[in-house]
Structure 1
């Protein structure tokens, strides 16, 4: 037999012993996502839980904004429009599905964004050094907010922020562009770049973010009028009843007979009365202090891991949430998304912080829409509910700061005696 006739079979690839387990986990995540989202959609269609209803925001307010935007201008003189101009692109997005009603198209797009987030988290958890815990936190945590995530556009904002964090190390320019576009929709996605490693990654991602945001802003400014009117409405906001400052005023009303009232202003239930302006100024001062602490952390940090960008983003958003004059329940969508990204890495310092977002989300759903009449009335039940939820958020923020600092800031070297 000649050497030409001799055929040596190519060696077969070694079987992957973990492939079957991964497929099982993927199937379990997919099945859980389908089951929980079906329940959320049912609740959305039914919309009979609690006070006021959740879907009215999309049916009435978003639809009204959509009609104004299609007429060529941003909402003008509208106290409920308090969002950067990129939000207009999100409100116009249902026009991409003209065969559906506005409400149906909005929910379909939100559902698709939710699915993409879950898929991205599953893929990130499958990488070397990754963990499936992030995907599970998102898939199991979002339904704790009941159907609220599908009645607001915060899932659509969370998607680019999650994507930016997941690709910041490999593709920093893409991450920057996603963060910049997200920031022009609801500001906070810019914080996803706070923890980028110094050097090329930071330069590339931050430059890309500024470029993407500027490009989108230019397009919107050229295509629509009153692009920056939101600044006037945002600056006039007061103290919402669900904020930490609002909880302090609720306690004062319950135990010290503080004479303030709850009124509907700027699209939310806010307090009016003595000391409200002082509480609002204190909240702004605390926000400034939080910003200064984050700058100090950025300067002092010297140890970066694959988890640091997500850890820093979760810490920053928690700080700005608890010091805000407003804490709407949909803010928990942001925190769940960022916490999920943290848990995709086994190196994260934020594991206990991420887990605290779950009871905080459940309590938020109890506050709105389930027991919102108790919260508005400032009863013992409503006040206790807000104290528990806000104590969880405040504790999570403080714990996040401590763990982020410990994980990334070098301790001073103490020299021994000579």
Structure 2
């Protein structure tokens, strides 16, 4: 067997792919527990604080008080606490790695030799996690990414389960709702997706109300809207450069209530106030474009990943929050696109490459060199600017491809439709 063929066969070995999974997760675990820059701060300090406040004082966030996360985010935080406060970090890493393993198994299947395309997607996901760094496991977002990856693997064959998983993810942190909306618009079996999502949502609301949550159930939306412009957000980039050029014009300040660094300067309050309605408007417009494309009969394998990518990137780009973990969301619609479009998904290699670049540039900024960013080192501000431009490029790619579907006139031949879209956006 030629050397190239042996290498390809090795890359399709389930044993090799699981070894890759173990090595990447072990490395990320070490970085979180012992790496520089305190990347595990939220898990070791903030999450246990919320849990202990409930256990010791009876004041549960999301139930007795408003909270920045939806109610279901308490579940993984409580689960990690089951091993005791001294083992919280290790328990968190085991829990998140287990969820990722379930998603990885859904992607690879239970077989000794994995089909080439799925093997490449799995290896690419591990490379993405490696480039993103410790934040890939060290935030609540890791739970939602694992749920969402499992959902997009299952969405065509098991849409009800996909809807349930995406709804569960959205009740942990809102962003998986973007993928859920895309599925409800583009998937032919959308009723099954809706049933799964409604079942989970009604269960969460019922439990929340039974626990006395009341209005706190939906407080995450209000809490997020009260934020200023976070340092890493794309909208904050002009003020970062203004602070570099003229420190008296703009500056970086710490918000102790929200535990984030924000930019302050002329116009920042106005832009922060406008960001929330602008985000809602953009999401509505993108969703309407998706509805129009679906009504024109565009094949779901073509429409679903592009629409999901456009909606997810809208949440990332048109957002006053720019935390590094937002970069972890990007991989979900990219995996979806590579899975559904198959050979015709060669075009999804572009967002795949952009996603890897986004992950790598994000880790350059956080956690190791984050102090230099806060000190307004021009080199770090430049890296962050490039990362935000990569966000914009990925969003633009998705919008161009989505707009291309609207120019399709033929409904009966998905192959012709695909070729027309690729020609229109090339």
Tell me which interval the TM-score lies in, with the shorter structure as reference length. Answer: 0.7 to 0.9
Identify if the C-alpha distance between structure 1 residues 258 and 119 changes in structure 2 by more than 3 Å, giving closer, same or farther.
farther
Any idea what the Cα deviations from partners look like across 1:348-377, whole Å, max 9, x if unmatched?
A: 353311220111111111111121122112
Tell whether the 8 Å contact from 1:69 to 1:92 is kept in structure 2 after alignment.
Answer: no
**Residue of structure 1 in register with 2:147 after alignment:** 160
Q: 2:19 aligns with which of 22, 31, 36?
A: 31
Contact 2:69–2:173 (CA under 8 A) maintained in structure 1: yes
SS at match of 2:249: coil
Alignment correspondent of 1:74: 60
Q: Sort the Cα spacing of 1:55 and 1:250 in 2 relative to 1 into closer, same or farther, 3 A.
A: same
Bigger Cα displacement from structure 2, 271-280 vs 123-132: 123-132
Cα deviation for residue 156 of structure 1 reads: 0.9
Superposition pairs of residues 259-408 of structure 1, within 5 angstroms? 259-265=249-255, 266-301=258-293, 302-306=297-301, 308-345=303-340, 346=342, 347-348=344-345, 349-406=347-404, 408=405
Cα distance in 1 for residues equivalent to 2:85 and 2:54: 19
- In 2, Cα distance between the equivalents of 1:376 and 1:97? 35
The verdict on how the C-alpha distance between 1:412 and 1:257 changes in structure 2, with shifts beyond 3 A counting, is farther
* Aligned positions, number: 392
In 1: Cα distance, 2:330 partner to 2:104 partner: 15
| 2:202 paired with 1:214 | yes
Contact 1:261 1:271 in 2 (8 A): yes
Q: With the length of structure 1 as denominator, give the TM-score of the two structures.
A: 0.84
Structure 2: stretches of 5+ with no match in the other structure: 1-5, 411-426
Match of 1:244 among 231, 234, 240: 234
Q: CA separation in 1, counterparts of 2:116 and 2:138?
A: 35
- For residues 76 and 292 of structure 1, the distance between their equivalents in structure 2, rounded to whole angstroms, comes to 27
Q: 1:352 to 1:83 in 2, by over 3 A?
A: same
Is the CA contact (8 Å cut-off) linking 1:243 and 1:325 kept in structure 2? yes
User: Structure 1's 198 and 270: CA in aligned 2 closer, same or farther, altered over 3 A?
Assistant: closer
Which of 43, 46, 68 in structure 1 is aligned with 2:31?
43
Residues 113/119 of structure 1: CA separation in 2 closer, same or farther (3 Å cut): same
Output one character per residue of 1:317-367: Cα deviation in whole Å (capped at 9) or x when no partner. Answer: 112101100111111122123322322341435331122011111111111
Could you tell me which residue of structure 2 aligns to residue 9 of structure 1?
A: none
Q: Which runs of 5+ in 1 are unaligned?
A: 1-17, 414-418
- Which structure: larger Rg? 1
The 1:190–1:230 alpha-carbon spacing in structure 2 relative to 1, beyond 3 Å, is closer
Indicate conservation of the 8 Å contact 1:163/1:175, yes or no: yes
Once the 2 structures are TM-superposed, how far is the Cα of residue 89 of structure 1 from its aligned partner? 1.6
* Equivalent-residue separation in structure 1 for 2:242 and 2:349 (angstroms): 34
Aligned partners of 2:358 and 2:390 also within 8 Å: yes
**Counterpart position of 2:3:** none
TM-superposition CA deviations, 1:28-69 (whole Å, max 9, x none): 322222222222222222122x3xx11221111110111123
2-structure distance, mates of 1:355, 1:376: 28
Partner SS, residue 54 of structure 1:
coil
> Which of 374-383 and 181-190 deviates more?
374-383
- Where does residue 408 of structure 2 map in the other structure? 411
Structure 1 pair 147–295 and aligned structure 2 pair: CA distance change class (3 A)? closer
Give the aligned partner of residue 4 of structure 1. none
Paired residues of 2:44 and 2:89 also in contact (CA < 8 A): yes
**Structure 1 position 277, deviation (Å):** 1.4
TM-score by length of 2: 0.83
Give a deviation string over 1:262-314, Cα, whole Å, max 9, x none: 12221210122321012223433541342133123222213124354333222
CA distance in 1, matches of 2:305, 2:43: 31
Task: Look up the match of 2:44.
Answer: 59
> What is residue 424 of structure 2 aligned with on the other side?
none
Paired with 2:151 and 2:130, the residues of 1 have a C-alpha distance of 23
Q: Is the 8 A contact 1:124 1:130 kept in 2?
A: no
